[in-house]
A and B are shown apart, each in its own frame.
Chain A
Amino acid sequence: KNEVEQSPQNLTAQEGEFITINCSYSVGISALHWLQQHPGGGIVSLFMLSSGKKKHGRLIATINIQEKHSSLHITASHPRDSAVYICAVLTKETSGSRLTFGEGTQLTVNP
């Protein structure tokens, strides 16, 4: 069983829709990252959080440590949001430098 599970695997939305991507993990963590992987392969860090909620523009990330669950929300989605969104965790069992990744969620936003 993967230590980090994301859902859905694939998501297709119409422009303007509210998007939610979920991440569940089974290990103790010190922090959780949301990353965006562009079609060309490059990875961009969106958020790093260990509690509560963070917002950046149209993106919102929340985490519930007790439930071992995090969500990434995109408001007013746009075709340029189309990418793979990856959840990754820093596990407490390691030195704190090792990210464990989910499989990613492929998001396609149609105009």
Chain B
Amino acid sequence: EPEVTQTPSHQVTQMGQEVILRCVPISNHLYFYWYRQILGQKVEFLVSFYNNEISEKSEIFDDQFSVERPDGSNFTLKIRSTKLEDSAMYFCASSDFAGYQPQHFGDGTRLSIL
């Protein structure tokens, strides 16, 4: 069964550094999402992306965050200047039709900011 893949599985970065989290969605999916889960807390929506633009973003997704689909397969989340509170598990998901089909999740990238 096709799956969403995320790399790296664990990223350790110094505070203030830029970090890029990578995702390869399922190939025929059109909608892409990023979520984060701070340790011990619930999963939170960050952003959804369709047709090469952001379709919705949460209050968390401020100017420090950006998303990009640089080619036909990758979907990236960039954090420009990381803060300690950015430490979390970041999940990528994709679906073939927003709201009407299940979202398929990757295994996540654990981001640790030192």
Contacts and interface: CB of A to CB of B under 8 A. Distances in A.
B42 A94 contact: no
A98 to B, nearest CB: 5
Contact of A95 (B56, B89, B106): B56
Nearest to A38: B107
Interface in B86-114: 89, 91, 98-108, 110
Chain A binding surface SS class: strand
B98 A96 contact: yes
Q: Interface residues of B: mostly helix, strand, loop or mixed?
A: strand
Q: Which of A33, A45, A104 has the most CB of B within 10 A?
A: A45
A41 B89 contact: yes
A33 B33 CA distance: 15
Given A30-B99, A48-B101, A102-B42, A97 B110 contact: no
Interface of B: 31, 33, 35, 37, 42-45, 48, 50, 55-56, 58, 89, 91, 98-108, 110
A97 B105 contact: no
A110 interface: no
Given A97-B33, A97-B55, A104 B108 contact: no
17 contacts: A41-B37, A41-B89, A41-B110, A42-B108, A43-B91, A45-B104, A45-B105, A48-B102, A86-B43, A90-B99, A96-B98, A97-B48, A97-B50, A97-B56, A98-B45, A99-B45, A101-B45
Given A44-B105, A45-B104, A95 B55 contact: yes
A42 B102 contact: no
A97 B35 contact: no
B59 to A, nearest CB: 12
B44 A31 contact: no
Given A97-B33, A97-B48, A99-B103, A43 B98 contact: no
